[in-house]
Amino acid sequence: MVKKGRVFSGARPTGRQHLGNYLGAIKNYVTLQDDYDCVYSIVDLHALTTLEDTAHLREWTYEMALDWLAAGMDPGRGTIVFVQSHVPQVTELHTILSMVTPLGKLTRLPTFKEKVREQPDNVNYGLVGYPVLMCADITLYKANAVPVGVDQASHLEFTREIVRTFNHHFGPVLVEPQAVYTETPRVLGIDGVNKMSKSLDNHIEIASSPEEIYERVRMMVTDPQRQRRGDPGRPEVCNVFSLHQVFTPQETVQQIDSDCRTAGIGCVDCKKMFAKNLADYFAPFRERRARLAENPDEVWEVLHRGAEKAGVIASQVIDEVKGAVGLP
Ligand code: TRP
């Protein structure tokens, strides 16, 4: 089948992936394989900009790769899954692109300002260049489409500007990518307030066993006004309910909606149902993951083969870029 073009996306190695990562990114990465040539990168160099302690990088890269592969990102279908630093041409392109990037634009980006607030003692040079490295990631593979969350909108717009500037100066070499925003509403953590994130420890890992899933689901905050079993609930403000809408069949969701409003079921019943549906949904995933984990060397091998394939494209593009710029 003729594909619509090339997709590139990247994510920092954060270890075992959670429901937010899955619904916000991974699920979409898998689906896109039907229509696009896909290149998916574990961006370990980007991770260095915010990490003081790099001791977990290797383990987190491996755990994330396991989740990605088990979820269906499939090198057997031509998808390239690799580790960013294994294809060093990206750092070359980053340097070249940095020469057409106005510094003021980088330091004015809201994402940069936020990092400065978050880590005032580690405002490193790489942090400023983070969006340039991201632009290098995408353009090194001449990707047409980049699936990202809306939080990355300013970075994508920035990439498009750099591409236009570069092509204006040096000729039409780089491809201006389209952002493809995922439709999933933001997934809240078990606290029911904040976005699900590992750093807030409010997450549910997709690789969790059914028991571990239930442990986490039990802790989920529901409608705060529903204090006693007999109080009627409001599904529209309940995080468990919003996830039921993703993992539970539609008829059952409607039943839960009315049973909750009339206090026909309590939060404990509702959570048990949710935990079971969640565990069932990820059962085939857990099996595939366990099988892959039997042979860690083979997982690294898959990543290395991915880097080799990525490297073929990267070498061509970097040669083109150098030629266009006029490097001898
Ligand atoms: N900046 C992205 C994030 O924090 C990760 C990323 C790096 C990325 N390079 C990319 C995403 C290229 C899309 C395309 O989520």
Give the model confidence (pLDDT) of 146-201 as tens digits: 999 888 999 999 999 999 999 999 999 999 999 998 877 689 999 999 999 999 99
The pLDDT of 60-85, averaged and rounded, is 98
Percent of the chain clearing pLDDT 70 (strictly above): 99
Q: Identify whether residues 78 and 47 lie together within a single domain.
A: yes
How remote is the CA of residue 275 from the centroid of ligand 1, in Å? Answer: 31
DSSP class per residue in 59-76: HHHHHHHHHHHHHT--GG
Ligand 1, residue 12: give the atom nearest the CA: 5
- H runs (alpha helix) in 153-266: 153-170, 210-218, 239-247, 250-261
Q: Identify whether residues 80 and 176 lie together within a single domain.
A: yes
- Can you tell me the distance from the alpha carbon of 63 to that of 143, in angstroms, rounded to the nearest whole number? 26
| pLDDT score of 123 | 93
| pLDDT score of 150 | 87
Q: Which amino acid is at 157?
A: E
For ligand 1, whether the C-beta of 43 sits within 6 Å is yes
Confidence of residue 52 (pLDDT cuts 50, 70, 90): confident
Range of the domain at 260: 210-281
Q: Note whether residue 287 is domain-resident.
A: no
Q: Identify whether residues 234 and 316 lie together within a single domain.
A: no
- Can you tell me the distance from the alpha carbon of 28 to that of 31, in angstroms, rounded to the nearest whole number? 5
Q: Note whether residue 290 is domain-resident.
A: no
**Per residue in 304-318, pLDDT tens?**
999 999 999 999 999
**Per residue in 7-31, pLDDT tens?**
999 999 999 999 999 999 999 999 9
The pLDDT of 35-44, averaged and rounded, is 98
Q: Which of the listed residues 17, 82, 155, 180 should we mutate to test ligand 1's pocket, taking the one with most ligand atoms within 8 A of CB?
A: 155
For tokens 């019943």, what's the residue? 269
Structural contact between residues 206 and 22, judged by C-beta atoms closer than 8 angstroms: yes
CATH of the domain at 177: 3.40.50.620
For ligand 1, whether the C-beta of 42 sits within 6 Å is no
Burial of 321 (0-12, 13-18, 19+ CB in 10 A): buried
| pLDDT score of 183 | 75
Does the pLDDT at position 61 exceed 90?
A: yes
How remote is the CA of residue 128 from the centroid of ligand 1, in Å? Answer: 14
Query: What is residue 167's three-state secondary structure?
Result: helix
Does the pLDDT at position 142 exceed 80?
A: yes
- Can you tell me the distance from the alpha carbon of 167 to that of 219, in angstroms, rounded to the nearest whole number? 52
Strands 37-42 and 80-83: parallel
The total number of structural domains that make up the chain = 2
Q: Identify whether residues 117 and 229 lie together within a single domain.
A: no
How remote is the CA of residue 270 from the centroid of ligand 1, in Å? Answer: 36
Q: Identify whether residues 237 and 162 lie together within a single domain.
A: no
**Per residue in 277-290, pLDDT tens?**
999 999 999 999 99
Residue owning the nearest CA to atom 5 of ligand 1: 11
Confidence of residue 242 (pLDDT cuts 50, 70, 90): very high
| pLDDT score of 1 | 73
Residue owning the nearest CA to atom 2 of ligand 1: 11
Mean pLDDT across the chain, nearest whole number?
Answer: 96
Q: Identify whether residues 129 and 237 lie together within a single domain.
A: no
How remote is the CA of residue 156 from the centroid of ligand 1, in Å? Answer: 9
Q: Identify whether residues 41 and 161 lie together within a single domain.
A: yes
| pLDDT score of 51 | 83
Q: Identify whether residues 54 and 122 lie together within a single domain.
A: yes
**Per residue in 73-128, pLDDT tens?**
999 999 999 999 999 999 999 999 999 999 999 999 999 999 999 999 999 999 99
Q: Identify whether residues 148 and 267 lie together within a single domain.
A: no
CATH of the domain at 271: 1.10.240.10
Q: Which of the listed residues 12, 152, 162, 182 should we mutate to test ligand 1's pocket, taking the one with most ligand atoms within 8 A of CB?
A: 152
The reported pTM is 0.95
Query: What is residue 121's three-state secondary structure?
Result: coil
Give the CA angle between residues 162, 163, 166 to the nearest 5°: 85
| pLDDT score of 192 | 95
Cα dist from 14 to 40, 48, 290, whole Å:
15, 12, 19
Query: What is residue 127's three-state secondary structure?
Result: helix
